[in-house]
Structure 1
Amino acid sequence: MNYQTIETQVKPDGIGIVILNRPEKRNAISIRMRQEISPCLSEWRNNNGIGVLVITGVGKAFSAGFDLDEFKQQERFDELFESSTRYHRDLWNFPKPIIAAVNGPAMGGGLDLATLCDIRLCSESASFGHPEVKFGAPPLYTPLRWIIGDGLARDLCLTGRWIDAQEAHRIGLVSAVEEGELLLERAIQLARTVLEAPAATLQFVKGFFSCNVGKGFEESFQIEHDQAFREIILKHS
């Protein structure tokens, strides 16, 4: 498939790489990007030659979040909602480990993308936040809560403040902070370490992550995403 907003690579040792490729928009996650990521995940979930996925971005940003220009186009609401719903669920339900190599700011939907990955590494220039709360878009709280705990997740979701790489490491949002030019290679090395376990074991472990976090993702997602889209975001667009 020819992609316009992402690049993909498949390493011989079983590592698939997705690179967000809209540097002129700080890798904002557009409808088109979501519509390209979802089929890529669908193809790779059944590809026995891929055991671990790495996601990173082109340029100085991981992702600035959803493309806000599209929220101004009410005639595209159904397309916006449907692409977002599928994309988030495809990420969450991907049966193989996903590593985020956060190469710069991860804001709003960019932070959501990182939290839907299993492991996160970041560069020294990375930052994280949910600024969208200040212009009327409720953040995706539950995956963040599972990683950093209730108190800090509420703080970030309510204040919209951003945190730098060192604070992200201190609170457990990322596993390590790497020099920018080494980040992707470190993520690939980590992926190789993960691949030392049998594929069936990795998929089994990945499968029960979502079963031990209290309220399930689907129940939370219907409220935080589906209901928010219908009852809040549409009214503010």
Structure 2
Amino acid sequence: MALVNTIVGALKSAAACRYAVPTSSSLLQRHNRLALGNNYNGGSAFYSNITVEKKGKKNNVGFIQLNRPKALNALCDALMKELQTALSDFSKDEEVGCVVLTGSNKAFAAGADIKEMQPREFAEVYKGDFLGFWNSISLFKKPIIAAVNGYALGGGCEIAMMCDIIYAGEKAKFGQPEILLGTIPGGGGTQRLTQAVGKSKAMEMVLTGDQISAQEALQFGLVANVYPVEELVDKVMEKAEKIASMSQIATGMAKEAVNSSYEMTLAEGIHLERRLFHSTFATILKLAINSIGSCNMGIINAKLITCKQYIRNVPLLDLKTCARIMRTAPTCFYVK
């Protein structure tokens, strides 16, 4: 309880977020950044509450870090709006095949900004678009990974669960402590947590405000793996670069198929999966099969199959050469 009071105190004492008023200069900079498209590498200068850059050996991983350390990365409206903007930019960037979302070693995000929420009344939040920005994470079509160190509480736990994969540092803590403030989760916590850890554990966490450790989160399936604090970001970047090297169309389809399992019956989910699988045969993969069908085992490097080639069904790619050159490539499609 003392720990929760400390966190609540930090959130209440944090300065409220404020929206930056764009000057003509900043508008011009943003216009130039958008115009640069794939060549844009960075972005911290355009944000007050997050840092944004492109990382990886091939510059194909979007990297977003929540940056309100004094408030333990409390999720104010301005931060969430900036996060929405960054994700929108990465969505349009054809070089970016995966995004990593992280915080600091002390806190991924300790919850929503309590000071910002306190003066709001029922009519305001009910009629307005309160928490509307939060959907940008769950609606993001490219794979997004949460790298969680420190506290992921309340809204912080919720936005981590909106991501496709969660990796945790060994000192990470997860929880939905809203009940201690006389409220309940409002960003999907009761739903996604139940799907991740089961009804009984989710009910215990929501009704008591108790937190779980990184190892417990791994045991319950909330996170995919746990790493030492100082190694977390590097390990996550390795996974992100691997995912980003795959075909973006294929990873998008895979993400859609897996996520549909939470909202469909088994029969409906299998039907969707099969239709998505079938659709790949109208793409460059169909050309691959035709090109190397006479081989006993042909190999095509997935990194050579781009979105444009998928969509436009370009027939000029020399797939036999690709198969021969990339025969030992670890990331590949095998076609009989």
Which protein has greater RCO, CA pairs closer than 8 Å, 6+ apart?
Answer: 1
The TM-score normalised by the length of structure 2 is 0.60
SS at match of 1:32: helix
1:10 matched to 2:57? The reply is no
Partner of 1:130: 176
> Is the CA contact (8 Å cut-off) linking 1:18 and 1:55 kept in structure 2?
yes
Q: Is 1:49–2:95 an aligned residue pair? A: yes
CA distance in 2, matches of 1:166, 1:137: 27
Equivalent of 1:203, from 226, 248, 252?
A: 252
Is the Cα contact below 8 Å between 2:171 and 2:214 reproduced in 1? yes
**Counterpart pick for 2:225 among 167, 176, 179:** 176
* Aligned residue in 2 for 1:185: 234
In 2, the alpha carbon distance for the partners of 1:172 and 1:88 equals: 23
Pairs within 5 Å for 1:19-168: 19-74=65-120, 77=124, 82=129, 84-85=131-132, 87-139=133-185, 140-168=189-217
- Sequence identity (%): 33
Distance 1:188 1:116, change over 3 A: same
How far apart are residue 74 of structure 1 and its match? 2.4
CA deviation string 1:145-203 (max 9, x = no partner): 22222222222122210011111111111111111111100110011222343110001
| Number of residue-to-residue matches in the alignment | 215
The superposition leaves residues 183-231 of structure 1 with CA deviations (integer Å, 9 ceiling, x where unpaired) of 1001100112223431100011112333221379xxxxxxxxxxxxxxx
What is the rounded CA distance, in whole Å, between the counterparts of 1:81 and 1:23 in structure 2? 28
Counterpart AA for 1:107: L
Q: Distance in 1 between matches of 2:200 and 2:128?
A: 29
Q: Out of 175-184 and 76-85, give the one that drifted further.
A: 76-85
1:191–1:28 distance in 2 versus 1, CA, 3 Å: same
Instruction: Give me the whole-angstrom Cα distance separating, in 1, the residues matched to 2:217 and 2:234.
Output: 20
How far apart are 1:82 and its partner, in Å? 2.4
Q: How does 1:193-232 map to 2 (within 5 A)?
A: 193-214=242-263
Aligned Cα root-mean-square deviation (Å):
2.2
TM-score (norm. length: structure 1): 0.84
Partner secondary structure for residue 28 of structure 1: coil
- Where does structure 1 differ by over 3 angstroms across 4 or more consecutive aligned residues? 75-81
| Residue of structure 2 equivalent to 1:232 | none
Consecutive unaligned residues of structure 1, counting only runs of 5 or more, are 217-237
Gaps of 5+ in 2: 1-29, 31-45, 266-336
Moved more, 15-24 or 58-67: 58-67
CA distance in 2, matches of 1:214, 1:99: 21
1:231 alignment partner in structure 2: none
Alpha-carbon distance in 2 for matches of 1:211, 1:63: 27
